[in-house]
Each structure stands twice: as structure tokens, then as C-alpha cells.
Amino acid sequence: MLTHYPPNEPERMPPLSLAVRAGDLLFVSGAGPFDENWQIAKGDFPAQMRAVLADLDRTLARAGTDRSRIVKVNVLLTREEDIPVMNRLYAEWFGAPPFPARTTAVVKALPVPDFLLEIECVAAVG
């Protein structure tokens, strides 16, 4: 059985679910750096990273899990120079090791031109 978690404001989103639960796994779509007011901190990587992590927290909570249950993370960055700051903020968000499996890639562009990153993950539920 699949459970879909649609966006709260679907008119602002592309055609996707924020997350889909399949059995005991939750697949979370890539979170962009919008804050709760749909604003982007243009050019400010730490602010964008914090907005993405807060969005992931909200999505995970809505599906009945949390960051401690994340098993895999994919991080997409548009600037290689942001990797050290991303690693620091990522480690702070997760706390002490062990950390989830992770892939980090630097890409040419993301769907919204002002996005400096996007993060998706898979988490255990139940």
C-alpha cells in the first residue's frame, strides 16, 4: 500500500507528492530552499540550507517519522564551494554519528534558478 503526502499548497508546486510511503520506507521528494513564506534567501547558502533542513523536518513529521530515521540522503548543489558549509550544517542537523548513507553531486542547475541546493531522502517509518 502506498500513502502519498501531497503539498499543502499544490498550486505552488510542480506535479509531485512531498513524500510517498511504501511499506516501512518514506521517499521524500527533493526539498528546495523556500521558507514558510515561500521566500528564497538568494545567494545565501547557509540560509538556504537551513530552510531545506526545516522543510525536511516538517515533511518527515507529517509522515510520522523524523531525521533520526533517515537512511539515505541525496544532496544536489549548484556551487562546489558550498560543500564545506553544507557538510558542517548537515553534521550539526544530524548530530552525532552514525550518519545516513549520502550522495552529494554538483549540478549545472536546479529547477528554480535561485536554488543553490536541493535535498531528498529516504527514511524508515513505523
Which pLDDT band, with edges at 50, 70 and 90, does 126 fall under? confident
pLDDT tens digits for 65-117? Answer: 999 999 999 999 999 999 999 999 999 999 999 999 999 999 999 999 999 99
Beta carbons within 10 angstroms of residue 45's beta carbon: 19
Helix (H/G/I), strand (E/B), else coil: 22: strand
**What's the order of all strands across the beta sheet hosting 2-5?**
2-5, 19-22, 25-31, 117-124, 70-77, 101-106
Instruction: Inform me whether the pLDDT recorded for 1 exceeds 90.
Output: no
Between 52 and 7, where is the model more confident? 52
pLDDT tens digits for 6-22? Answer: 877 777 778 888 999 99
pTM listed for this prediction = 0.93
Helix (H/G/I), strand (E/B), else coil: 93: helix
Do you find a cis peptide bond into 6, omega within 30 degrees of 0? no
CA atoms within 13 Å, Cβ hemisphere of 47:
11
Beta carbons within 10 angstroms of residue 10's beta carbon: 11
